[in-house]
Amino acid sequence: MTLSPRQRRSSSARRVRTTPHPALQEQPKTHTQEKEKGQDVLQNIQQLGQTNIPQQLSENGIHTITIIGQIEGHITLPPQNKTTKYEHIIPQLVAIEQNPKIQGLLVILNTVGGDVEAGLAIAEMIDTLTKPSVTLVLGGGHSIGVPIAVSSDYSFITETATMTIHPIRLTGLVIGVPQTYEYLDKMQDRVIKFVTSHSRITKEKFRQVMFCTNQLARDIGTVMVGKDAVDDGLIDEVGGLGQAIAKLQSLIKARESKGGSTDALDSDAP
């Protein structure tokens, strides 16, 4: 199927009709036939560069979430952006917590940042999961990707992946009064507090790298490459997919041995 560039764009609802269009009044087909499934996967690869990851769910108990592109929050971003929509990730995390077949969560990050509130919401949700979670930073985990990267039980970064830490700033009309700067400082403190309480990096060190002036050409801040993030205490270990899955499986086993698995909880229920 050939699609125009406009059709290839993805975005969220800006104008929604309350009544279905006549051409769309039919229910979607259930993808039961193998041929249709194959076509769907092919289309997903063509459109999104990804396949249907949760199909692995029942086999190993590990659920994978990919956080890519911009983390889209309260504002729908224009179609040239690849986005991760928080209104889909948040209920997905609820389902992961409740689904007895899911034993652990692997979060793969390759994000350029995005909405502060959405990013912090996802980070808090991952942090408060009772099931083991591991994050893996591939490519980049920048800006608001940093709190998400440190929110899991254990974090990995690949050798070549980078994490940019730079100050939050306001866009649009800015009123030049002290309250504006205080608000900005409060927003920044929310991030700093979360990151420093979920990793080994100290507040002083995090602020130091955030306001560094000799690292970036167009900005202030620091780019941490792989091992730098581990040395500074932001990420737990340098590693890739194999290490991340092995660590998650060991965390799942440790939880099961303590009787903390979902099955064990179910058996305790009256």
Partner 1 sequence: MLWTVMPLEAVLDGSDSYEPEYFDVPWNDGGRLIVEKLNMDSARVVRLISGNANDYLDASIQPGTIIQYAPKNQASKQ
Positions marked catalytic: 143, 166
Q: Show the tokens assigned to 93.
A: 């995390």
Output the smallest distance, CB 150 to partner 1, in A: 15
Q: What are residue 246's phi and psi, to 5 degrees?
A: -60, -40
Q: At its nearest, how many Å lie between partner 1 and the CB of residue 142?
A: 4
**Which residue in this structure is represented by tokens 């919401």?**
121
Q: How many other CB atoms are found less than 10 A from the CB of residue 38?
A: 11
Question: Parallel, antiparallel, or unpaired for β 237-238 and 222-225?
Answer: unpaired
Minimum CB–partner distance for residue 192 and partner 1 (Å):
12
Buried b (16+ CB within 10 A) or exposed e, 63-102: bbbbbbbbbbbeeebeeeebbbbbeebeebbeebeeeeeb
The contacts of residue 91 (CB under 8 Å, 6+ apart) are none
What's the token pair of residue 200? 């080994």
For the bound state, the minimum distance from the C-beta of residue 156 to partner 1, rounded and expressed in Å, comes to 21
Q: What is the C-alpha radius of gyration for the chain, rounded to an integer number of angstroms?
A: 21
Q: Which C-beta is closer to partner 1: that of 96 or that of 239? A: 96
- In the complex with partner 1, which residue's Cβ is closer, 87 or 182? 87
Rounded Cα gap, residues 30 and 27, in angstroms: 9
Q: Which is nearer to partner 1, 110 or 239 (CB)?
A: 110
Of the pair 92, 249, the CB lying nearest partner 1 is at 92
Q: Which two tokens stand for residue 139?
A: 């490519």
